[in-house]
Amino acid sequence: MQYQPHDYQTYATNFIKNNPISAVLLDMGLGKTVITLTALNDLLFDSFEVHKVLIIAPLRVARDTWPQEIRKWDHLNNLIYSVAVGSAEERKVALSKKADIYIINRENVQWLIEESDIRFDFDMVVIDELSSFKNGRSKRFQSMLKVRPLIDRITGLTGTPAGNGLMDLWAEFRLLDFGKRLGRFITQYRNAFFVPDKRNGMVIFSYKPLPGAEEEIYRRLSDITISMKSKDYLKMPDLINSEYKVYLSEEERKSYENLEREFVIDITDEQVTASNAAVLSNKLCQLANGAVYTDDLKTIYFHERKLDALEDIIESANGKPILVAYWFKHDLKRIEERLIKLGINYARLDSSKSIDKWNKGLIDVGLIHPASAGHGLNLQSGGSTIVWYSLTWSLELYLQTISRLWRQGQSSNTVVVQHIITANTIDEDIVRALIKKENIQTSLINAVKANIKGGRFK
């Protein structure tokens, strides 16, 4: 296929070519893969500035998306690539082949650098989903840090750079620029831009930005960072968010509040306890959804409010395909039981076959888990409505999952995001947290937004 880039795509490609260190915050659907591959092609065969490229990506994206894009476009036909996924032996064979570009999944970064006995001689690295390196204590981050001095050019790609707040940015940019802009150590960054927020005595649980810190962080990153939002460059469908609230009975409300207050409840002679705040949050989410794991991992049914709401939503769709996002295994089990009872044609979207059937319109209800469907899946051909049966605290997974439908190629004029929320429960806290995080992330993206027509930034 002949590549006819939009102006913004040409701009982003040139930005990667002209900046040895670059962070490209591309919204989903803007074509970040072909933009980057075009830059790599020019750097390899036009300017000869690089000779061997490593691309690090989520597994499915590494295995499927990058190779598909290389094969798809005529101008990339000269690129020789090798995909290093699978067993250790398969990865070694792939890395030993002569190629221009080597593609590996992020889970095997540590293996490549520390265990494979393969010389790390890549002069350019592309990190697809830079946000997956936001944890400065992770093994993949530490491994990459060891070889960073060997890398002449590095590009980070993501649509969600600050999924859980500004603190995420330190590790991502430490990897890119050796800590030049935000500090070499997390303590430097934290002391310069944050103050303790939630704490218990000497134990600090979270930090909040100092006055003016956000703007200063964005200013420091602006010379190596560009951002583009889909709605600014593509004709995107309207995105409509709505809430379907359900309500607990008085007895259910008492049980929920007892767990919230006492960290323990008894349901049908089974005990559910929470040993700390994190476990309590998890248990409250489960109760809001309608079932909970006991201390010995039995599943206790609590209510069917969300199942009834989901049934109402499916019925009102009148045959229109619906994507349903779940989180816990008992959510999936109970949803499937209800769909079977209703005689609904459904499938878990966890394989190439089921995804293909969804995109061909052969499935009425598709079930997805945000952690496995967040990156690399194109589901826009199969429907335009997503229902959040279970909510997630992760802004990154939340936005990425929605963008499986709300993206270029969506034929519907509107994409509907329906949230089933149990009133006066942790569900409402999660929604508020997602909105707050999105405000922070939107501020970052706006601060470094590319101005293609005149000047670098708006």
- Exposed/middle/buried for 91, CB within 10 Å: 0-12, 13-18, 19+? buried
Residue 455 has pLDDT above 60, yes or no: no
* Residue (of 288, 284, 196) closest to 246 by Cα position: 288
Q: 11 forms bridges with which residues in the sheet?
A: none
Least confident of 194-198, 248-252, 387-391: 194-198
Is residue 63 a contact partner of residue 105, using CB atoms and an 8 Å limit?
Answer: yes
Backbone phi, then psi, for 447, in 5-degree steps?
Answer: -65, -30
Q: 21 forms bridges with which residues in the sheet?
A: 154
Rounded average pLDDT over 16-27: 92
Is the alpha carbon torsion for 402, 404, 409, 414 positive or negative? negative
Q: pLDDT tens digit string along 99-157? A: 999 999 999 999 999 999 999 999 999 999 898 898 988 999 999 999 999 999 999 99
Distance CA 350, CA 366 (A): 10
**Domains of the chain (ranges plus CATH)?**
7-233+443-447 (3.40.50.10810), 235-247+306-422 (3.40.50.300), 249-302 (no CATH)
pLDDT at res. 115: 94
Q: Report which secondary-structure segment, H or E, holds 453.
A: none
Q: Check residues 368 and 236 and name the one with the higher pLDDT.
A: 368
- Exposed/middle/buried for 246, CB within 10 Å: 0-12, 13-18, 19+? buried
Q: pLDDT tens digit string along 408-430? A: 777 787 888 999 999 999 899 88
Rounded average pLDDT over 215-237: 82
How far is the CA of 292 from the CAs of 39, 266, 277, 388, in angstroms? 50, 11, 16, 18
Q: Could you list the beta-strand ranges (E) of 299-455.
A: 299-301, 322-325, 346-348, 365-368, 385-388, 414-422
Is residue 182 a contact partner of residue 134, using CB atoms and an 8 Å limit?
Answer: no
Is residue 292 a contact partner of residue 302, using CB atoms and an 8 Å limit?
Answer: yes
Rounded average pLDDT over 395-411: 83
pLDDT at res. 275: 57
Least confident of 30-39, 286-295, 440-449: 440-449
* Residue (of 38, 47, 60, 219) closest to 126 by Cα position: 38
Is residue 260 a contact partner of residue 437, using CB atoms and an 8 Å limit?
Answer: no
Residue 49 has pLDDT above 60, yes or no: yes
Residue 216 has pLDDT above 70, yes or no: yes
